[in-house]
Amino acid sequence: MNAISQDAVASASGSKLEALNAWVAEVAALTRPDTIHWCDGSDAENAALTAKMQADGTLIKLNEQTHPGSWLHRSDPDDVARVEHLTFVCTSERDDAGPNNHWMAPADGHAQMDALFDGCMAGRTMYVVPYCMGPIGSPLSRCGVEITDSPYVVANMRIMTRMGAPALARIEKEGAFVKGLHSTGELDPNRRFIMHFPEELTIKSYGSGYGGNALLGKKCHALRIASHQARSEGWLAEHMLILGLQNPQGDTHYIAAAFPSACGKTNLAMLIPPEGYLNDGWKITTVGDDICWMRPGADGRLYAINPEAGFFGVAPGTSKKSNPNALACLQRDAIFTNVGVTADNQPWWEGLDNGQQPATDWRGEPYDAAKRPAAHPNSRFTVSAKSCPSYSPEAENPAGVPISAIVFGGRRASLVPLVFEARDWTHGVLVGAAMGSETTAAATGAVGVMRRDPMAMKPFCGYNFADYFSHWLSFDNGANKLPKIFHVNWFRKSDAGKFMWPGFGDNLRVLEWMIGRVKGEAGAVETPIGFLPTDADLNLDGIELDDEARAKLFGFEQAGWQAEFASIGEYLGEYGPRMPQALKDEQQRIAAKLAD
């Protein structure tokens, strides 16, 4: 790959990129790379970058007959997930970051990070990666530039964003971009920090090569920084999938759904309807599987884009049964991170269920089930969204798609029924704010612990949650035509500890009921926690549910909900005087009804 000097780039790029050129020069002076490469996103550049990584072992070629154009990457064993305890939001006032974030004063954050960055790219290439989150021509999109010394990051950003020359042209036109500085450093867990400076639209990440910590366009920009941008500009940046549900009459409704990482967003976004529904002409299209940016349109409806161009999905559990569309994506031109491989060099992970067996585990050692799983529980795949059989051409619509329903959900083994509908927008915001879920392997720490994860944004909201809830409430202004809000729980268990709802494609039955509610055609029973369907309100043809399952999936347990709402009240109180009174009033209203 040819090195491009800083002076050559500056003179070639024109005066409108002075701010960008000056920043690149400043970073180069701090990090002292051997060479600087401005990424254009071309096929030739990617081929050269890939060849370099294959030569130094960063990427391992997978079976070209079974998975053409696909690669394996093995990360450091101590660098396999997001590090929430090392992730900071640096605002001038501590309360602006809120108790939901680790805070550091901006001056202290910059000083700490710049000391780490000092000389860190010596002997390395510094890559300048201009990118656009969202379709290049969309007014809803926002641009950024990531500076990194990781070619693996460049290869992933090329898949996950609109990266290269078109993004640079938009930056030149607008003159605005989010700054992201990243170095893998020494990959030392004791020298690993991810700092966000939302007031400056700046990110600094050091010491990790893991996706959520290193692909700065993803969680760092598209959620933490964008949520701050969205609040000031009047839109929403959310941890949500976007799917289209088309009925046999050809009408399509778009649904945005927020689940914590590794709780089934990708599976739902790429859902294949049950056979009966397929035969009747139902269809799911995939706009996005992880992030959703929404803003009111001229008609008052919320319109959404997926700011990403690819999928960075969890591999374990992805199979022909759970997500055939995702599996179909992964047959070519994919990057696999921390999966196992078979004897003939095919990617393998637990749950794949393809008749193969792993020969080597994610650390590159001979597979031994007694020692560790073949694939790390948070192993990933990166692949273009356009490779998905259910990919929606509306994903490139610069105007976005109109949202009919917003869905919140998490992993709850008990209490929470299969689905319920919020009474109104304020109640729906409380449902999202109070959302609880059992933790997964997507973040470091214990797995299976129930924690509050408002709107699935606990690790990702770039400012005080109390202000975030107020921002949500502000959309109910009398002019907007807001979507209905629902809550789902695919993970309810029986007394014997077994999942009671079949999930996967059968989740379409729940989505059908939601759209029926949006259209005023589906039945429901009013309870203090919202509107619940009876088992007769859903199409359960072909579903076998015993009496316990019907009672728990469609039932309402008053005593349990009394305790839940007492806990919710305590949780809201943790945010102090900034917590909007409307949410506290709503919690008390429901608590009073539960006490009747």
What is d(CA 233, CA 293) in angstroms, rounded to the nearest whole number?
A: 12
- Is 263 known to sit in a ligand binding site? yes
- Widest CA span in the chain: 74
Q: Which of 362, 344, 380, 323 is nearest to 67 (CA)?
A: 344
Report yes or no: 309 and 161 within 8 Å, Cβ to Cβ: yes
Sheet holding 310-314, edge to edge: 60-61, 71-73, 335-337, 380-384, 310-314
- Write out the two tokens for 415: 């209490």
Structure tokens at 291: 């992030």
In the block, which residue shows the tokens 């997500």? 323
Residue whose pair of structure tokens reads 């790219």 in the numeric block: 121
Q: What is the 3-state secondary structure (H, E, C) of 269-286?
A: HCCCCCHHHHHHCCEEEE
Token pair 């945005």 in the structure block, residue = 256
Is 484 a known ligand-binding residue?
Answer: no
Q: Is 506 annotated for ligand binding?
A: yes
442 touches 378 (CB < 8 A): yes
Q: What residues does 103 pair with on adjacent strands?
A: 89
With beta carbons less than 8 A apart as the criterion, state whether 102 and 87 touch.
Answer: yes
Q: What does the alpha-carbon distance between residue 27 and residue 118 come to, in Å, rounded to a whole number?
A: 9
The response to whether 141 counts as a known ligand-binding position is no
Helical H segments across 161-225, by residue range: 165-174, 211-214
Name the residue with tokens 């806990």.
567
Determine whether the annotation assigns residue 411 to a binding site.
Answer: yes
C-alpha–C-alpha distance, residues 507 and 505, integer Å: 5
Residue 363 labelled as part of a binding site: no
Contact 437, 458 (CB under 8 A): no
* Tokens matching residue 416: 């929470």
Q: What is the CA radius of gyration of the chain?
A: 24
The reply to whether 228 sits in an annotated binding site is no
d(CA 357, CA 159): 29
On whether 265 is known to bind a ligand per the annotation, the reply is yes
The reply to whether 46 sits in an annotated binding site is: no
Phi, then psi, of 383 in degrees rounded to 5: -155, 150
What is the residue whose two structure tokens read 């997978």? 62
552 is in an annotated binding site: no
User: Does 505 count as an annotated binding residue?
Assistant: yes
67 is annotated as contributing to ligand binding: no
The DSSP H or E segment spanning 340 is strand 340-342
Q: Are 304 and 294 in contact (CB under 8 A)?
A: yes
| 478 three-state secondary structure | coil
| Token couple for 279 | 């035969």
504 is an annotated ligand-binding site residue: yes
**Is 109 among the annotated ligand-binding positions?**
no
- Residues marked active site are found at 263
Q: Extract the runs of DSSP E, i.e. beta strands, from 135-212.
A: 142-148, 162-163, 178-183, 193-197, 202-206
Token digits for 135?
Answer: 């379709």
Packing angle between helix 581-595 and helix 465-473, nearest 10 degrees?
80
Residue 21 has phi, psi (to 5 degrees) of: -60, -40
Is 58 annotated to bind a ligand? Reply is: no
Q: How many CB atoms lie within 10 A of CB 115?
A: 11
Say whether 322 counts as a known binding-site residue: no
> Is 82 one of the annotated binding-site residues?
yes
Does 452 appear as a known binding residue? no
Binding site listing for substrate: 82, 210-212, 261, 378-380
Residues annotated within a binding site for Mn(2+):
219, 239, 290
Q: Which residues are annotated as a binding site?
A: 82, 210-212, 219, 239, 261-267, 290, 378-380, 411, 504-507
Which residues are annotated as part of the binding site for GTP? 262-267, 380, 411, 504-507
